[in-house]
């Protein structure tokens, strides 16, 4: 039986023509999917992050030891502190005999949660502010851009350290977003002061699009500003927004690690840890020549940053209809 939906094959057509004909039958989602997986860095990174996500989500089963469990009891003749990587402790142990492999799994789990949660919130805030500022213009636009300029004039980590001390001293603030050393406080802090770059990016996209013919046509048929933003402006700005989202995730993870390195990070609790806390401990390990306390936490941090960055590049390519995956 002949499939009526299948493209007709033209005798004498070359391979490029046939590929173009096949591409034309794909839906926009299928095309975006092909573009994403055509990006080799994004494809490899997605596989790595997928495996890593499975490992950390199922940490109670994938970790060899409990988060505060020592690999073996301390005796008069044998100690479990600062064990080099070996069969009973794949990534070695720390100063009190904790298994670094297990703690790294729990730490990456906490840090990914902080990174993703704060990035999503900051991108939502930044996208909203940038879209409104770009579409409305006027005093609101001027005000938001001046606020953005002020905060972007200083390094993000400096702003976070200053505002951490300031907001942490206000009782009603901590009653809402948690104690200064809580994970919830750090997520809120990164979200509140991490949206400025996204807002400027989205504002620029809106300014470049709002005078285009399809926007004028939408206005002509009576579309509201909200509908124009949701149906036209944001879909055409999704590529840069996705890249900003992935960069925000990386920024939050690195930011948490930096705060922890200076002793200002979240205290994940007696039954948890974070990648930042492990990076903080790596300074002690470096002084004593215990290389595994440095290599594995810092290596995990670098791996996360590289993979998430490549995935952002892949997302950008996925929504770029100008790219031809057949090349």
Question: Other C-beta atoms within 10 Å of 200: how many?
Answer: 21
> Can you tell me which residue has the tokens 């810092």?
298
More confident residue, 102 or 216: 102
**Got the DSSP string for 116-168?**
HHHHHHHHHHHHHHHHHHHHH-HHHHHHHHHHHHHHHTS-HHHHHHHHHHHHH
Please tell me the predicted confidence (pLDDT) of residue 45. Answer: 92
pLDDT in tens, 179-205: 887 888 889 889 988 888 888 888 888
Q: Which residues contact 187 (CB under 8 A, 6 or more apart)?
A: 114, 117, 118, 121
pLDDT in tens, 208-229: 887 777 777 877 887 777 787 8
pTM over 0.85: no
- Between CA 288 and CA 279 the distance in angstroms is 15
- Between CA 294 and CA 96 the distance in angstroms is 16
Structure tokens at 95: 């100063």
Residue 279 has pLDDT above 60, yes or no: yes
pLDDT in tens, 245-271: 888 898 898 888 888 877 777 765 555
Split at pLDDT 50, 70, 90, the class of 167 is: confident
- Between CA 119 and CA 189 the distance in angstroms is 11
Split at pLDDT 50, 70, 90, the class of 325 is: very low
Contact in structure between 280 and 21 (CB atoms under 8 Å): no
Section 123-135 average pLDDT: 88
Residue 62 has pLDDT above 80, yes or no: yes
> Can you tell me which residue has the tokens 């995730």?
249
Looking at the chain, the whole-number percentage of residues with pLDDT higher than 70 is 85
CATH of region 40-62+100-318:
1.10.3720.10
**Got the DSSP string for 178-209?**
--TTSHHHHHHHHHHTS-HHHHHHHHHHHHHH
Please tell me the predicted confidence (pLDDT) of residue 84. Answer: 81
Contact in structure between 240 and 316 (CB atoms under 8 Å): yes
Q: Which residues contact 95 (CB under 8 A, 6 or more apart)?
A: 81, 82, 281, 284
């Amino acid at each position: 039986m002949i499939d009526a939906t299948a493209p007709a094959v033209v005798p004498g057509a070359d391979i490029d023509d046939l590929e173009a004909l096949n591409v034309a039958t794909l839906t926009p989602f299928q095309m975006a999917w092909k573009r994403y997986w055509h990006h080799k860095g994004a494809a490899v990174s997605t596989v790595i992050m997928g495996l890593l996500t499975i490992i950390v989500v199922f940490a109670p089963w994938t970790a060899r030891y409990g988060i505060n469990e020592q690999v073996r009891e301390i005796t008069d003749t044998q100690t479990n502190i600062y064990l080099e990587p070996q069969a009973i402790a794949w990534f070695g142990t720390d100063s009190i005999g904790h298994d670094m492999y297990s703690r790294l799994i729990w730490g990456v789990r906490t840090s990914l949660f902080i990174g993703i949660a704060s990035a999503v919130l900051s991108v939502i805030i930044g996208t909203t502010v940038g879209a409104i500022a770009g579409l409305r213009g006027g005093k609101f636009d001027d005000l938001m851009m001046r606020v953005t300029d002020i905060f972007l004039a200083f390094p993000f980590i400096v702003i976070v350290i200053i505002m951490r001390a300031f907001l942490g001293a206000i009782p009603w603030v901590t009653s809402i977003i948690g104690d200064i050393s809580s994970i919830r406080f750090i997520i809120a802090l990164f979200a509140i002061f991490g949206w400025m770059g996204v807002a400027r990016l989205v504002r620029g996209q809106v300014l470049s699009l709002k005078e285009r013919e399809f926007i004028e046509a939408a206005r002509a048929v009576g579309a509201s500003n909200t509908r124009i933003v949701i149906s036209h402006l944001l879909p055409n700005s999704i590529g840069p927004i996705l890249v900003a989202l992935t960069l925000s995730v990386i920024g939050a993870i690195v930011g948490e690690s930096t705060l922890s390195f200076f002793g200002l990070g979240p205290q994940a609790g007696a039954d948890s840890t974070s990648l930042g806390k492990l990076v903080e401990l790596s300074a002690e390990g470096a002084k004593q020549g215990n290389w595994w306390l440095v290599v594995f936490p810092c290596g995990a941090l670098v791996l996360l940053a590289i993979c998430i960055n490549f995935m952002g590049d892949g997302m950008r390519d996925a929504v770029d209809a100008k790219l031809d995956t057949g090349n």
